[in-house]
Amino acid sequence: MLPFLRKAIIFLALLVLLLLFPAVFVFMSPGLFLIHGATEHLFPKDDLLRRTGNTVILSFAFWVFSYWLTMLIPLSLTRLFYLTNIVFSFWFASTLHRPRPKVALWDRGNAVLLSLFLFVCAVRFIPLFDRITGSVGDMTQHLYMARLITIHNTYSDSYLPLLPFRHFGEYPLGFHTLAALLSQLTSFPLYRVTTFLSSAIYVLIHLGLYQLLTRHFPKILSLAVSSVVLLLSHYPQFLNQWGSSPTALSACFLFFAYDYLSAKQAPASASFVEDTGIALVLAGGLLSHLIPPIGFLFYFPTHALIQCARGREQATALLRNHWRVVLLSASFITPFLLNFDFSVFARSAPAITVHHTDSFAKVFDSPHLAAPRVVIETLGFLAVFAFLLGPTMVLLLSGSALYCVLRRMQGSDSARTHVAEFGGALGIFCVLLILVRLQLTPFSHLLQTERIHYLLLIPASLVLAVFCHTVLPKIHLHVVAALLLCFSGLVAWNVFDHRERHFESHYGTFKHLRDAGLGSLLAYGFDKANASVTEWDLRAFEWVRRFVEKDAIFLTNYGDGGGLIASIGERQIWAPHGMEIWHGAELRQWQSTNRPTHVYIGRIPNPRYPTEFTREELRKQPEKYRLIYDVEQCSVFKIEDGRSRGSALGTGHPRATTSASTA
């Protein structure tokens, strides 16, 4: 009777927690319950960091898939959330007879490990406190897609009522589903939830790379190397400036999937529950973004082939241990593929290809360089590689790789596999760059180098870890302390230097020193060039929601905060970001049958993009543009024309033209 009572109390406690703090279950359920009965080999439970990472990534993967479940079953997203957690809580409580893993927390090594992890969390969550929301361009798209999920709270086959497009779901909705779910379960607005989620994803990327490294190296070294690689590399950090959080989430899923699938290559069996969890994480990569999984299809087979070179037993284990994961993963992405509009995919290819051509032209087309074309192409390849990783990371990686090669030449076998895998990954990187450069495949437009090279960071980290694991113990402690002191001084100088320049891009004079002094991290955390929304913009959006007609259509500047009217202001905008790629024909048809009714000009224009509308120019045309809101350089103009002039005069817009002292 006592065991039954104990299980009942635990089940009731979980239900109370679910009712009081439901958002917590987005991070811990069903991941915590899935790994409870899993093997230590696949999901290590003796390490708090690895257990945390596995719990969150498995939970995220399930909730990403849950949106597509609502396409198949007649349940809302939130009802599915509560029902699923009740079931998993009951299952967890009923299986607690199994022995709990011992997780050491208070030894000296774990204290250092947790301190380093808290530092990683602190720097990764800087954007949450430094800006209101991310890139106006990309976040415009992500916020109105997430808002559409919150409006319907289930599967939707169109963008209505936000946008007049008939098909919804051609862009994977993993990030948007998580954001919508967290927003519905908390009192936080959607634009703050997306900022929080964007920061949390980068912490998970650290944990994914850390877990993979711990299979070969000590814990503290693994976290230190993963931190160095991810804090120094330009990408995926630079994605945060764009607001491309779905790409980062996809890469995060694939880092963990890479680790799980690598661990499964060992001749060991796995349960159906474990395979289901791995398949969910693997599917989560595609259900969050299309591009990183394309890179995974090239990188991981290369890794698997190198592992199979050890012998027939490894090759047999590869086939035996992975077939079920592949089938399960395929079943999880089937609803997305059934909904996917391949005609939209075909229509988007030319627009994306043009962007590729323009980007590569800046690197490869060098008419002032008097050299054969093959030399220019080679230099272009090296330039792309150096830009993606950053000059400091390239120097560290080159030195580590050279050291490992020399050790191999001297007869050491400790780095053989890691060096071979890094060489294979570099070869794949070159092949993919050639494919996208020459447009040799129907999907070349998806091979965006700044989004598919992330898995190259895994073998790069392994090579750097080999170097550190071998060399650092031989260096005197005073030398290590002196190097850390010099590095700290460089970072401090870089912070003050960036502060004087308002944390704008760290390129320019002393760019290599700035890069070595965590310049990419400072750009990730403090560069607001693409984050133009201010508190005054939010007040203007609130005014728009209260006083502007619901069928209003706004003209906006691309770089300022106006684009977010589509989500925060809850009104349509004339040129919604991303729709010119996915729904160009429908967008043009809609524009041909509608007219913009208002113009919004935000407080902070973006110098990187042309400003189409200015207050000065619109005020010169009072017969066409009537100022109805003007507070702290946030302005709303009503467009007066023959069709709308009469109705506009009768709308009773309360004119708001105050200063900061009276707002």
Tens of pLDDT, residues 31-47: 888 887 676 666 776 78
Residue 283: inside a domain = yes
Structure tokens, 541: 């959006």
Give the contacts of 464 (CB within 8 A, at least 6 positions apart): 225, 228, 229, 396, 397, 400
Range 107-131 burial, b when 16+ CB lie within 10 A, else e? eeebeebeebbeebeebbbbbbeeb
Quick one: 596 and 504 in the same domain?
A: no
pLDDT for the residue numbered 663: 39
Residue 408: inside a domain = no
Quick one: 635 and 490 in the same domain?
A: no
Average pLDDT over residues 332-353: 80
Quick one: 480 and 551 in the same domain?
A: no
Q: Where are the alpha helices (DSSP H) in 167-311?
A: 174-185, 190-214, 219-232, 239-242, 245-264, 272-286, 291-308
How far, in Å, CA of 336 to CA of 554, rounded? 32
Residue 505 pLDDT more than 60?
A: no
The residue segments making up the domain with residue 630 are: 535-649
Quick one: 31 and 150 in the same domain?
A: yes
Tens of pLDDT along 588-602? 889 999 999 999 999
Least confident interval from 123-127, 261-265, 575-579:
261-265
- Among residues 197, 254, 260, the alpha carbon closest in space to that of 50 is found at 260
Tell me which residue has tokens 């969550």. 125
Query: Is the distance from CB of 559 to CB of 531 less than 8 angstroms?
Result: no
Quick one: 308 and 186 in the same domain?
A: yes
Model confidence at 497, in pLDDT bands (50, 70, 90)? confident
How far, in Å, CA of 657 to CA of 204, rounded? 45
One-letter amino acid of 413: D
pLDDT for the residue numbered 643: 47
Residue 229 pLDDT more than 70?
A: yes
Positive or negative, the Cα torsion across 425, 427, 431, 436? positive
What does DSSP assign to residue 455?
G
Quick one: 24 and 101 in the same domain?
A: yes
Average pLDDT over residues 307-329: 76
How far, in Å, CA of 444 to CA of 430, rounded? 14
pLDDT for the residue numbered 437: 75
Model confidence at 648, in pLDDT bands (50, 70, 90)? very low
Average pLDDT over residues 510-530: 77
Quick one: 506 and 588 in the same domain?
A: no
Domain boundary among 340, 362, 388: 340
Model confidence at 237, in pLDDT bands (50, 70, 90)? confident
pLDDT for the residue numbered 492: 87
Higher local confidence (pLDDT), 346 or 207: 207
Mean pLDDT of the chain: 82
Domain boundary among 291, 307, 340: 340
**β-sheet bridge partners, residue 636:** 600, 629
Tell me which residue has tokens 């309360």. 654
In the chain, the percentage of residues whose pLDDT exceeds 90 is 34
Model confidence at 105, in pLDDT bands (50, 70, 90)? low
pLDDT for the residue numbered 85: 94
Q: How many residues are recorded in the chain?
A: 663
Question: What backbone phi and psi angles, to 5 degrees, belong to 638?
Answer: -90, 125
How many helices (H) and strands (E) are present in the chain, helices listed first? 30, 5
pLDDT for the residue numbered 659: 38
Domain boundary among 466, 495, 526: 526
Model confidence at 445, in pLDDT bands (50, 70, 90)? confident
How far, in Å, CA of 337 to CA of 330, rounded? 10
One-letter amino acid of 391: P
Number of folded domains that form the chain: 3
Quick one: 514 and 589 in the same domain?
A: no
pLDDT for the residue numbered 101: 53
One-letter amino acid of 594: N
Residue 459 pLDDT more than 70?
A: yes
Long-range interactions of 352-355: CB distance < 8 A, separation 24+: 352/445, 352/446, 352/581, 353/439, 353/444, 353/445
Range among 52-61, 132-141, 418-427, 647-656 with highest mean pLDDT value: 52-61
Residue 227 pLDDT more than 90?
A: yes
Least confident interval from 73-77, 131-135, 158-162, 313-317:
313-317
Quick one: 635 and 494 in the same domain?
A: no
Residue 297: inside a domain = yes
Quick one: 515 and 555 in the same domain?
A: no
Range among 81-85, 139-143, 471-475 with highest mean pLDDT value: 81-85
Residue 315: inside a domain = yes
Residue 437: inside a domain = no
The order of strands in the sheet holding 572-573 is: 572-573, 553-556, 598-601, 634-639, 625-631
Residue 82 pLDDT more than 60?
A: yes
- Among residues 427, 453, 416, the alpha carbon closest in space to that of 309 is found at 416
Query: Is the distance from CB of 250 to CB of 57 less than 8 angstroms?
Result: no
pTM to 2 decimals? 0.89
Quick one: 150 and 181 in the same domain?
A: yes
Residue 382: inside a domain = no
pLDDT for the residue numbered 406: 79
Question: What backbone phi and psi angles, to 5 degrees, belong to 598?
Answer: -140, 160
The strand pair at 598-601 and 625-631 is best described as unpaired
Residue 273 pLDDT more than 60?
A: yes
Residue 137: inside a domain = yes
Residue 631, classed as helix, strand or coil, is strand
Residue 71: inside a domain = yes
Give the contacts of 328 (CB within 8 A, at least 6 positions apart): 275, 276, 279, 280
Average pLDDT over residues 252-266: 86
Give the contacts of 69 (CB within 8 A, at least 6 positions apart): 75, 80, 335
Quick one: 484 and 599 in the same domain?
A: no
